[in-house]
Structures are given as C-alpha cells and as structure tokens.
Amino acid sequence: MDTLALYIHIPFCLKRCGYCDFNSYTQLEYVPSYMDSLKREISFYSSLKRKITSVYIGGGTPTVLGERELSSLIDAIHKGFDLSPDLEFTVEANPETVTAGKLKVLKEGGVNRISFGLQSLKDELLKAIGRIHTAEGFLKKYAMAREAGFDNVNVDLIFGLPGQKVEDFMDTLKKLAGLSPEHISCYSLSVEEGTKFYELQEKGQLLLPSEDEERAMYHSARHFLQENGYSHYEISNFAKAGRESRHNLVYWTYGDYLGLGAGAHSFLDGVRFYNAYGLKDYIDRVKARGEAVENRERISEEEQQAEFMILGLRLVRGVEKTKFFERFKKDLDLVFRQALEKLKDKGLILNEKDRVRLTERGLDLANEVFVEFLP
Amino acid sequence: MKIPQDRIRNFCIIAHIDHGKTTLSDRLLEYTGTIPEREIKEQVLDMMDLERERGITIKAKAVRMIYRADDGQNYLLNLIDTPGHVDFNYEVSRSLAACEGALLVIDASQGIEAQTLANTYLALEHDLEIIPVINKIDLPGAEPERVKQEIEDVIGLPADDALLISAKEGIGIKEVLEAIVKRIPAPKGSESEPLKALIFDSLYDPYKGAIAFVRIAQGKIEPKQKIKMMSTGKVFEVTEVGIFSPEMVSTDSLSAGEVGYVVAGIKNVKDTRVGDTITDAENPATEPLPGYKKAVPMVFCGVYPADGEDYEKLREAFEKLQLNDASLFFEPETSAALGFGFRCGFLGLLHMEIVQERLEREYGLNLITTAPSVIYKIKMTNGEEMMVDNPTNFPEPSKIEHIEEPYVEASIMLPTEYVGAVMELCQEKRGIFKDMQYLSEKRVLMRYDMPLSEIIYDFFNQLKSRTKGYASLDYELTGYRKSDLCKVDILINGELVDALSFIVHKEKAYARARQLVEKLKEVIPRHLFEIPIQAAIGGRIIARETIKALRKNVLAKCYGGDVTRKKKLLEKQKEGKKRMRQLGKVEVPQEAFMSVLKMG
C-alpha cells in the first residue's frame, strides 16, 4: 500500500507575531466549530487507502487547544486513518500554552515528537518580535516535555532578527545546544507581505542586520552545530543522528501528503490542491460537502521534474539520480544537462556520480540554483 | 457649383502648443457647417492618437470649407494645417508656401512664444498676409493690450486690428472668417499655364498607394492626365483627384488656386516628397516651384528589439512607418551588446520619440534604443574626413586631427525672472550668448549658439523644469564648428559595451561618466561575483563603481504548503532574468541602456 504523510492545521494563535505570515487567526471563538469541521474532514478522507507514516499537527498554535479538544482530535485521527506502527507524530507547541496536562494527553495519544517555537533565548528580542513567552518560560516547558517522556524534541530558532548581533544568535544556539534537543531548525528571517515587519520595512523602520552579518550567523550556526553532534540535513534544519524530521523529509523527497484544515495544501498522485483559507469559508465548505478544497492543479510531468529538483536540492545530501529515474523514467543528467552545467560552472552545485547537491555556496544562493530547473 | 478663383482663400494657422489652434479650427468647421458640431471629436485635424495625446500636430493636413460672407457671396476656404514643432520646420515651410495668408493665434495671457515667432518669420518670408488673432480673451489672466504691443514690438506687425476672440466660447469666430475673406488675397496663377502643383504632404493608403496633398499653383490636374515629379522625373497617370471636406471626396479636376489630393498609382511616399512640384508630363513647366529640399535627418540612434526574435517584426514596422514618413531613415546595424537592430535617422528629438512610441504602441514592440547622436565631422591625421553618427564608429583618438560638431542658433523666449536660470543652463550646455531682446517688460528673447548635441541631451526638459514650463525654444542649424570632443566607453566587468559609448565635450566627460556609472550600479542587479563598472577615454579609466557580489538568495522555509507560492517567486525571478541582456557573464536590464539617454 502507498504511504502518505498527514498534516493537520490549527489556525489559531493568542497573538500574531510581527514576522509571521502563516494562515492563523486570533478569533478563538471559532475553535469549537473549527474542530468539528476538522473531524468531519478527517472522516471524509478516511476512505483513502494509504498507510500514514507521519502525522504533523502544526499551526498557528496547536497548543492553544484544550486537553479535551486535543484528545478528541487525536482520537479522530486514529479512527480515520491507517497509521503505521513506526509512526512519527509531531505536534507544534508554543511554550506559553503548553501544560503538563496537555503534554500528558499528547503522550497518551501516541504523539512522539514535540516541536517548540522558541525563536530566541534573548527576552528583549522575543518581546520585540511579538512572542508571548520568555526564555525562562521556554526552559520550564522544555523540561516539562522531557519529564512527560518526550525523547524527540525540535526547537525552532530565527536569525537575522531586527537588532540581532551574531553573538546574540550564537549565545542562544549555545544555550540551546546545552539542552541537547534532538532537532534544531534555524530559519533566516524573511519579511513577507502582509506582516507587521513588512509595514515597518516599507516605512524604513525595520533595522535588520546586514547581509554579511546575517550570513555570518548562518555559517557560524552551521559550523557550531556540526561540531556539536548535529548534522546539517536541510537548508534550515539540523538533527542528531537518525532524528531528522521524517514528516518534512516527505515534502523534500517529493512524497505524497494530505493537508487538512484551513488553507492546508495536499499533493496526491500528481495533483496539488488546497483548502479555503478563511475560517468561515473553510467551515462552510466542510459543512456543505465534507471537504473544503478551493483549488486543484494537475502538475505536469515537466513541472514535477522541476519541483522534484527544487525540493530535493534543499536537502544537503541532494537529489539521488536513481530516485529521479525511478519516478520519471528519465536520466536526470539528460533532462537538466544545461542547468547542471551552468550551475556547476558557477560553483553552486556538485554533480557527483550518484547525486546532485548544493555546494556550501549553493546553500546561500539556493534560489539561483532553483530557477535554473524551472521549465 | 464651382467657385471662381477670386473667391478662394488658402490659409493656415500659426500657433504655439495650447494656444488654441485646434479649438479655433473646430469652430471654423462648425460655423461654416463643414462638420456638424456633434461630429467634432475634439480635434478633427489631428488624426493620430499620439498627436491628440501630445496636443501637437505632426503631419500637415487640409480641410475645405464653404463660407457665405457678409457680401452675400460664397467663398471657398482651404485651411492647411501645419505641424507645430521645430523638428518639422521644413514641412511647415511647405505648408506655408501653399497659402496666401495665415492666422497668427496667440494666447492672450501667454504672449508670443519662440516657435510662433519662428513660424511667423517663415510666413513673412513667403509673403503671407498675416492676421493676428488674440485667443482666450475670456480668461481672467488675459492681457490683450500687452500681447498687441508684443506683436508690434517683436514681429513688427501692426496689431491695431488684431482680432480678439475666444475659440472655446465661440466669441469672434465670424470676425475671423470675414477677415480671411477680406484681408487674405485670392490665389494667383492661371489655369491655362502648364501645371505646377506643390506637394505639401502625403499619405499612404493601402489601396490607393501614396496620395499627394497638393496646392495647384497654376494649370489644371484631372484623371487620366500623365504627371511628372519634377525632382525625380518619374511619370505617373492620375487616377483620381479630390478635395478634403474634410474626408477625401473625389472631383472632376483641380485647377489653379485649389487645394486637394492626387492619386496616381504611386507606390511609395518617397515619390511624393514634400516640397516637390508636380507638372504635366506632356506639357511640362520649365521651372519647379522654389524651395524643394530633401529632408535630412539630424539625430541618429540605434533601435533594437528587446527580444532578438522580433528583429523581422521591427523591420516590417519600420517599413510600414516609412510608407507615411519619407524623412525617416533606417538601415541594419549590429551591436555586440544588443545584437541585430537598426541605425535610424530622425529630423529631431521629437520625431525620434514619436517614431519610437509608435513602434512600441502600434506594433507592440519592446525596444532598446541607444543614446541619440548628431553627425560629427572628423578630420583625420591622414587628411581624410569622415562623418560619424554612431559613437561605435569613432576612430581611435590618435588618428583624429580634430572633430567638428553641428551648431544651432537657439532662440529662447521666457519671462524675465528666469533669465538667470536659463543663462546658467545654456552655459552648462556650452552655449555662447549672442543677444537678448526685451519683448516687453516681462518677457525676453535670448539667442545662443549651441551645439546640437547638447540640445538633444535633455536640454528641452531642463529648460522646462528650470522655467516652470514658461520658456519656449526654437533652433535652426547654423553649421559645423571645431570642438574638443572625446568618446567615453563603458566597461562592464572589464568588457566594453558598445551600445553605451557616447561622445562628449572633454570638460564634461568626467561628470557624465561618473553619473552614468553610478546609474548603472543602481540598475544592474547583483551577481554571484563582484562587477566593476568603468568609464574610459581611450585606455584611461576616468570613473569606476563596483557592484558587490550577491551573498544570499535563499528561501529559508519550504514545506508542503509553501511549494506553490515559492515556485511563483522563483518564476518571477526567472521572468526578470529573461528580460535581461547577457553581456559576457553579466546580465544587464534594458533599463541600463536607457540610462545613457537620461543624463543631464
């Protein structure tokens, strides 16, 4: 039976962060009807004959949900899908909203991976970017998760924040590494339209570190984490041996995934589709027909080949030529001969016998690489 | 109903832009019932959209009206429209030559402008009867008395009987028509003499071929007649003659004094050159009408398709434009930087802009044009002389004995308060002051000798901005003068970009080079490597900027929900690259080539 990764979106937050452009709302009064819709949507897709290898509940902030809401959602997932025995089950958590009770519910429901949104261990920065937790708050909840028995924990960080110095970021990283989480994500800040940061930038009031400083943060982080037992496996992701996010690897290896909830995207049998973004719109659609798809697009073979490369090259190990051949019955070297030559000359990729991967420089300039694969 | 020659009046309107020529024309057409009011679409005489937008007439046209005058007689009035811009001076002179009189229309609050003055002098040279008309007298700022004084002082015409009108409000229109009838003489010339018809304009029609717009000076023209173009000796057989009312209506014949059109199976407008004389092939006139000149392009530039694949489309577009514009010159040219394109010659800057705009608008072409150049006369050390209109063809400095460039006499009219600002500008532009004349207490006429190349480098825009739009300009080519000029080359990443080279006076070379390299630094995107941008004279670098290498271009996150959106971003980036020109290893946006044009 074919496998599938399952994503569930919880589009609620207590407060919007200045940099965030995710599909999330602070109107918590919608939570009950949203959760009902989600469960209906789960049952709609339960006829899919697929083995689920990973579940990822993301947001928003899944931990704004109460214990009962969490447990009934997890129950619905268990009932609706055929879950693999070695399932990776991740839930994203905001330190402020995590409680011992919720952790217990998650653990009992089979959740085996927690992903904390920390961003920084410097309180001034946390406040400036609109986070509702403090460094100390995080440390407490991190310990709580460990006590609850979670032995696979990720922590998200952002670098290149306004006013952030290279030392600030390295300080955060060192303290965090001291806690020894199994997985660390380091995201370069990108200022997206529709965010508070974007407004500030338009007004010239967002004082970001220079490009050189920003890259220094990335390079230092990469170096430091590699020295401390983490392997760099994707542009922004680091993990201890065997602790790479299996769910996210499905995205990067061009596997199939099903996304449920408002605005969630799916990619199934070469078709990409996504749900309505608005809460009400999503709820109404589910009420009317059991699912909430707003648009579907069949991805042509040519586009699929490009996407295969664009996603696969995000992995430090690169794209394996045999995998490309298995999927498209075509030789990667022939399909992308020109692009590969050009990028190799520019020193952005290595074209090895069995794989193509980004050089260190290519990691900084990945978009320059990706555009060359577009049809 | 044939109107006898003594009741024909041929006239034109001389006016500055916005002084009301078109509005007055429309009123005359309405008053005489030539066109019902509701059919007048703003401006009947200006036919091209572009003309309408710019409020100027590019090509001369004509219209015929019948007016029943106070004396109870019907008169035939031919209004011949004239282009209002300095680039089309020659065409203006041919239109004037087709008339016996002119209405000099002046805005009651603005007064006489440089172009009006130049055209009035031109009209006086052709012995035209000039009727001063002061327009817009209804507006609060109107000062008709001051304008009358200006007419007397500046032009030297008596202005006591100037007509005071408001074309917009329809005031004084009848008086204008009466003045045309009473003051403008009837055309002379006899129908029995051999045919002489002056071509004052032409139009290409896909079915009829080139149609000549003519004024019959003497003799008669009718279908089946064999006619000869006196400048080329080419013979054609007339298939149709007619009048403008205002659309073309065929008639039996056109005879001395009349204005109309001639169709004779002429394939190319090059055979209906403005200013040429048409005569009877079997009974030819001995002498053509005076004043014929072949239009000579003064400003040259390279025109390239942004997408190399559009080259053929561009050629076809040029060919089509040339059907109606005998003064447009083009020939194939190749540039290392821009690929295949055309070297084009224009009567002046406006002519150039109009052609470029029409190519883009009417033919949907995306163009890259190089900086305009004049024709330089280069005396070589070996005694040879060469004419160069493209910086690329400039010889090495060591082989040049000296360089001469075309000079013009520029006449600028402006309110006195801007004299300082304009003097400064003219000095910056290497102008040599000739004289200054007070037109009234508030307005002066300044005359400068100035290199044409400076005029084509943004002079008019500068003049407008430094005088808040109150100055007007006219210029006339006066000849060549020795100048201390040099060629500045631009090197991008160490490679010379031929399309960016320009000729400049030595004293200004440094400043212009600086300005250009700074601009290029702004418009060329960062690459994976550092890009030096240099300006050089001969082998000597005179300015340099560096574009820093791109260090980061990466999307931090790309999960399941991001693929579509991130791919769109990448597609946008790719689209941007497509519009660039590859110069060696460097991708240069089209804008870069335009930046040479925009230097002050």
- % of chain B residues with pLDDT over 90: 52
Name chain A contacts of B554, Cβ cutoff 8 Å.
188, 235, 363-367
Q: What pLDDT score was predicted for residue B598? A: 62
Q: Do A371 and B574 touch (CB under 8 A)?
A: yes
Assess contact for B60 and B49: CB atoms under 8 A. no
- By Cβ distance, the residue of A265, A311, A365 closest to B561 is A265
Q: What pLDDT score was predicted for residue B576? A: 82
Q: Determine which of A119, A304, A371, A374 to mutate to test the interface with B (most B C-beta atoms within 10 Å).
A: A371
Name chain A contacts of B577, Cβ cutoff 8 Å.
371
Q: Give the residue from B304, B353, B358 showing the smallest Cα distance to B333.
A: B304
Q: What pLDDT score was predicted for residue B57? A: 43
In B, residues 535-554, which contact A (CB 8 Å cutoff)?
Answer: 550-554
**How much of chain B is in helix, strand and coil states, percent to nearest 5?**
30, 35, 35
Q: Give the residue from A193, A329, A166, A320 showing the smallest Cα distance to A254.
A: A320
Q: Determine which of B559, B569, B585 to mutate to test the interface with A (most A C-beta atoms within 10 Å).
A: B559
pLDDT of B497 over the 80 cut: yes
What would the pLDDT profile of A318-329 be if each residue is shown by its tens digit?
A: 999 999 999 999
Q: What pLDDT score was predicted for residue B39? A: 56
Within 10 A of A322 (CB to CB), how many other CB atoms are there? 11
Chain A residue with CA closest to B560: the answer is A251
Q: What pLDDT score was predicted for residue B599? A: 56
- By Cβ distance, the residue of A267, A346, A364 closest to B560 is A267
| Residue B392: φ, ψ to 5° | -60, -35
| Residue A321: φ, ψ to 5° | -60, -35
What would the pLDDT profile of A92-139 be if each residue is shown by its tens digit?
A: 999 999 999 999 999 999 999 999 999 999 999 999 999 999 999 999
- pLDDT confidence of B40, banded at 50, 70, 90? low
pLDDT of B58 over the 80 cut: no
Strand ranges for chain A from DSSP E: 3-10, 51-59, 82-93, 113-119, 153-159, 183-188, 231-234, 237-239, 257-260, 265-268, 271-275, 293-298, 319-320, 349-351, 355-358
- pLDDT confidence of B580, banded at 50, 70, 90? confident
| Beta-bridge partner residues of B334 | B340
Name chain B contacts of A257, Cβ cutoff 8 Å.
560
Instruction: Kindly state the tokens that stand for A375.
Output: 């049809």
Pairing of strands B209-218, B196-205: antiparallel
B574 touches chain A (CB under 8 A): yes
Chain B residue with CA closest to A365: the answer is B553
**Residue A183 buriedness (CB in 10 A; 0-12 / 13-18 / 19+):** buried
Query: What does pLDDT average to over chain B?
Result: 88
- pLDDT confidence of B118, banded at 50, 70, 90? confident
Q: Determine which of A159, A192, A265 to mutate to test the interface with B (most B C-beta atoms within 10 Å).
A: A265
- pLDDT confidence of B55, banded at 50, 70, 90? very low
B585 touches chain A (CB under 8 A): no
Q: What pLDDT score was predicted for residue B413? A: 85
For residues B443-456, average pLDDT: 91
What would the pLDDT profile of B60-102 be if each residue is shown by its tens digit?
A: 478 899 999 999 999 999 999 876 665 677 788 888 999 999 9
* ipTM score: 0.91
Q: What pLDDT score was predicted for residue B84? A: 60
Instruction: Kindly state the tokens that stand for B351.
Output: 């002519």
Count interface pairs A-B at CB distance under 8 A: 89
B336 touches chain A (CB under 8 A): no
Distance (Å, rounded) from C-alpha A61 to C-alpha A57?
9
Chain A residue with CA closest to B527: the answer is A368
Q: What pLDDT score was predicted for residue A263? A: 96
Name chain A contacts of B570, Cβ cutoff 8 Å.
310, 367, 370-371, 374
Lowest-pLDDT range of A280-284, B9-13, B268-272, B505-509: B268-272
Q: Do B570 and A371 touch (CB under 8 A)?
A: yes
B249 touches chain A (CB under 8 A): no
- By Cβ distance, the residue of A236, A346, A363 closest to B528 is A346
Q: What pLDDT score was predicted for residue A83? A: 97
Q: What pLDDT score was predicted for residue B201? A: 86
For residues A150-166, average pLDDT: 97
Name chain A contacts of B559, Cβ cutoff 8 Å.
248, 251
- By Cβ distance, the residue of B550, B569, B577 closest to A365 is B550
Query: Which of A70-84, B23-37, B443-457, B462-476 holds the top average pLDDT?
Result: A70-84
B382 touches chain A (CB under 8 A): no
For residues A192-220, average pLDDT: 94
pLDDT of B114 over the 70 cut: yes
What would the pLDDT profile of B210-220 be if each residue is shown by its tens digit?
A: 899 999 999 99
- % of chain A residues with pLDDT over 70: 100
A257 touches chain B (CB under 8 A): yes
Q: What pLDDT score was predicted for residue B121? A: 82
Q: Do B567 and A310 touch (CB under 8 A)?
A: yes
Q: What pLDDT score was predicted for residue B353? A: 84
- pLDDT confidence of B348, banded at 50, 70, 90? confident
**In which element (H, E) is residue B250 found?**
strand B248-251
Q: What pLDDT score was predicted for residue B204? A: 83
Q: What pLDDT score was predicted for residue B253? A: 95
Distance (Å, rounded) from C-alpha B279 to C-alpha B235?
9
Domains of chain A: 3-252 (3.20.20.70), 319-373 (no CATH)
More confident residue, B104 or B538: B104
pTM of full prediction above 0.80:
no
For residues A181-204, average pLDDT: 94
Q: What pLDDT score was predicted for residue B597? A: 64
Distance (Å, rounded) from C-alpha B170 to C-alpha B166?
6
Distance (Å, rounded) from C-alpha A56 to C-alpha A5?
8
Q: Is B554 helix (H, G, I), strand (E, B) or coil?
A: coil
Name chain B contacts of A346, Cβ cutoff 8 Å.
528
**How much of chain A is in helix, strand and coil states, percent to nearest 5?**
45, 25, 30
For residues B287-307, average pLDDT: 86
Q: What pLDDT score was predicted for residue A60? A: 92
Q: What pLDDT score was predicted for residue B20? A: 81
Name chain B contacts of A267, Cβ cutoff 8 Å.
560, 563
Pairing of strands B432-438, B400-415: unpaired
Q: Is B446 helix (H, G, I), strand (E, B) or coil?
A: strand
Q: Do A374 and B574 touch (CB under 8 A)?
A: yes
Q: Is B201 helix (H, G, I), strand (E, B) or coil?
A: strand
- By Cβ distance, the residue of A236, A263, A307 closest to B563 is A307
DSSP conformational letter for B372: P
Residue B540 contacts by C-beta under 8 Å, 6 or more apart in sequence?
Answer: none
Q: Do A311 and B558 touch (CB under 8 A)?
A: yes
Q: Determine which of B554, B555, B575, B580 to mutate to test the interface with A (most A C-beta atoms within 10 Å).
A: B554
What would the pLDDT profile of A335-367 be if each residue is shown by its tens digit?
A: 999 999 999 999 999 999 999 999 999 999 999
H helices of B77-165, in order, are 89-97, 114-125, 144-150
B556 touches chain A (CB under 8 A): yes
